[in-house]
Structure 1
Amino acid sequence: MRRQTTTPRREPSLRVPIVVTLVGELDYPSAARANRELDPVTAGDRPHMVLDLTRVDFLDCGGIGVLCRARRRTRAHGGRLSLVITDPRFLRILDAVGLTGSFDILSAAPDTARPADDGPCVTGCDGPVSAAAAPHS
């Protein structure tokens, strides 16, 4: 008799977004570190990441590069990236460089965020970066 194995398959509609909160400055000096920490979150099959920038104090071209890299990586793996931005300065920066339409912009992170089961917990910028999974709505 042949032994049959079944691998559980997670349907895309059941995937939960990973909410990553950045803290501090997202700038040129912190970009390499932030990229190293975000890369595992953006890898894999169909990643959906919500990048919460509400605790970021400063954003420059290096930070924009981090956002573009995360967007490119999630799309390359069939996923998507959303940004939580409440600071009008950051919205103006994205608009000035023509990137406003390149991201899903949210006014708040999902209320239902919960810690990810052994999910990524990363540090970056000049402060902590935390990750949590939120039920997909």
Structure 2
Amino acid sequence: MSPDAHDRAAPRPGDTAPESGSVVANPYARTRQVGPFVVIEVSGEIDMASAGSLAEHLTAAVTGAAPPDVLVDLRHVAFFDCSGLRVLCRAEATARSRGGRLRLVSDQPRIHRLLRAAGLLGRFPPLPDVPSASSPPPPPPQRPSLK
């Protein structure tokens, strides 16, 4: 493990573990339960330096309860680059392989443009808001066949 990776993995002074005890609190993501959904609220700038912090939350969410139903709330993100997209794609594939799903919540046009430019808008059609715990979940998006 590189010294930089060790610094990211080790809890910083003042960090506290959330109630589940699986992920150390960090300034980029916060995980909470909203009805049947695991909601990961992301904030700040998600780039190569901070994507690992987001990945910790995503990994804990998609490998926890089976099948996972994860919502990644990007409404408070100031910057998001391909490093963030990479961890989202990995987490979504893991969730899907476990019979679950990972969806995005975003009302920001720049996030929509980024997803469109990366060819991921069909994989991650953003929801405008976190669904209420009592509303029925929307059906998963239909992906075009590669055949």
State the 1:136 CA deviation. Answer: 5.7
Q: Indicate the SS of the match to 2:130.
A: coil
Unaligned runs of 5+ in 2: 1-34, 137-147
1:70 matched to 2:70? The reply is: no
Indicate the residue corresponding to 1:23 in structure 2.
Answer: 43
CA distance in 1, matches of 2:125, 2:51: 21
Q: Is the 8 A contact 1:17 1:135 kept in 2?
A: no
Q: Which amino acid aligns with 2:102?
A: L
Q: Percent identity?
A: 40
State the 1:98 CA deviation. Answer: 0.4
- Report matched runs for 1:44-59 at 5 Å: 44=64, 45-59=66-80
- Report matched runs for 1:1-137 at 5 Å: 16-44=36-64, 45-110=66-131, 112=132, 134-135=133-134, 137=136
Q: Is the 8 A contact 2:106 2:129 kept in 1?
A: yes
Q: Is the 8 A contact 1:50 1:109 kept in 2?
A: yes
CA distance in 2, matches of 1:18, 1:135: 14
Q: Which amino acid aligns with 1:63?
A: G
Q: Which has the higher contact order (CA 8 A, sep 6+)?
A: 1
Indicate the residue corresponding to 2:31 in structure 1.
Answer: none
* Cα 1:40/1:59, change in 2 over 3 Å: same
Q: Indicate the SS of the match to 2:107.
A: coil
Aligned residues: 101
Q: TM-score if structure 2 supplies the norm length?
A: 0.63
Q: TM-score if structure 1 supplies the norm length?
A: 0.68
State the 1:104 CA deviation. Answer: 3.8
Runs of at least 4 residues off by over 6 Å: none
